[in-house]
């Protein structure tokens, strides 16, 4: 007696095709595949054209979800795709691993200090957006018919909590290097202290300690080329930090802010409000430049002495 392997119906009057499916079930599977095929083709195009790894990984997950559904047809012996879903799922796993590896390599190339500032900037934008949402929420709460979306609100706070944790983890790595470097210097292990400080310089750490200590150590050792290299790096990084700070100050200061203080800010000098509180305190890059010039002079004198 014929029986459909999908719906389980059986009857002497039931007609099943070569795959053991009744007409109704076969039509359903064909329609289901056509709908999924459109999404699969669209996702494949996005994966191949997008340069954003997050977008690519997202689309791979979408494709995997659809192939997982099509997999049950394969297990029923229905040749739904060529190659079959099981093979395509394995290929997607390999493709996902390659993209993830490439993404991790790209992230690891980014200096930690730069990454910290990038994430901080993203965090500030999130906070600003949340403030705007809070203002909108206040207006909406005045409407008795308003129903808050608790899921979205919880998700927003969870994202900020996660963002804060990522920032703390990055900062802890660099601060820990400095602290270990200080301890090693106290123990007389200068070589390993240098390695830790150099790692923070390579990561564009935004505190002056590793640059200051390396400059002092290298000068004592008469390694003037290294001192000059560190000072140039220090000037480059903290000059950029000052520019970013000035941009932020000018963007957020009120329109009626005293012009003399704005001009003072543009000359990268410390600014205090009427109560004496510091509101802008740029790094003394000019002092770093003076030290750099002195290091260059000492280098030339040292050359002449050892000739």
Count of domains observed in the chain: 3
Q: Which DSSP letter does residue 81 get?
A: S
| Residue range 154-187, pLDDT digits in tens | 445 556 666 677 788 888 999 999 999 999 999 9
Give the N- to C-terminal CA distance of the chain in Å, as an integer.
106
Residue 8 lies in a domain: no
Same domain, 211 and 196: no
CA distance 269 to 283: 9
- What is d(CA 298, CA 292) in angstroms, rounded to the nearest whole number? 10
Instruction: Assess whether 211 and 168 both reside in one domain.
Output: no
Task: Examine residue 10 and state whether it is found in any structural domain, yes or no.
Answer: no
**Same-domain pairing of 227 and 215:** yes
Residues of the domain holding 34: 23-109
Residue 127's pLDDT is: 58
pLDDT of residue 158: 58
In a domain, 76, yes or no: yes
5 within some domain: no
Q: Looking at residue 13, what DSSP letter applies?
A: T
Please state the pTM of the whole predicted model: 0.55
Which residue, of 64, 92, 109, is where some domain finishes? 109
Angle at 101 between CA 99 and CA 102, to 5 degrees: 65
Asked if residue 9 is part of any domain, the answer here is: no
Distances (CA, A) of 157 to 123, 130, 160: 12, 9, 5
- Per-residue pLDDT band for 105 (boundaries 50, 70, 90) equals low
């Amino acid at each position: 007696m014929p029986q459909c392997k999908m719906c389980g119906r059986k009857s002497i009057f039931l007609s099943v095709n070569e795959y053991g499916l009744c007409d109704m079930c076969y039509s359903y599977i064909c329609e289901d595949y056509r709908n999924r095929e459109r999404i699969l083709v669209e996702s494949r195009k996005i994966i191949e054209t997008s340069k954003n790894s997050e977008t690519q990984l997202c689309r791979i997950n979408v494709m995997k979800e659809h192939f997982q559904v099509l997999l049950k047809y394969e297990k029923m012996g229905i040749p739904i795709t060529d190659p079959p879903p099981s093979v395509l799922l394995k290929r997607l796993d390999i493709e996902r691993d390659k993209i993830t590896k490439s993404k991790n390599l790209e992230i690891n190339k980014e200096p930690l200090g730069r990454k910290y500032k990038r994430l901080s900037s993203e965090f500030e934008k999130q906070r600003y957006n949340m403030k705007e949402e809070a203002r909108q929420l206040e207006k909406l709460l005045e409407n008795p018919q308003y129903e808050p979306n608790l899921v979205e609100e919880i998700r927003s706070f969870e994202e900020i909590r996660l963002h804060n944790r990522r920032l703390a983890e990055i900062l802890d790595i660099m601060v820990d290097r400095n602290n270990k470097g200080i301890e090693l210097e106290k123990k007389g292990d200068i070589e390993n202290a240098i390695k830790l400080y150099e790692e923070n310089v390579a990561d564009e750490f935004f505190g002056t300690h590793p640059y200051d200590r390396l400059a002092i150590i290298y000068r004592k050792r008469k390694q003037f080329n290294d001192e000059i290299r560190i000072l140039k790096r220090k000037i480059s990084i903290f000059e950029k930090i000052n520019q970013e700070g000035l941009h932020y100050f000018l963007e957020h200061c009120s329109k009626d802010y005293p012009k003399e203080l704005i001009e003072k800010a543009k000359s990268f000098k410390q600014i205090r409000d009427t109560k004496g509180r510091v509101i802008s305190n740029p790094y003394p890059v000019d002092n770093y430049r003076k030290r750099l010039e002195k290091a260059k002079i000492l280098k030339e004198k040292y050359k002449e002495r050892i000739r």
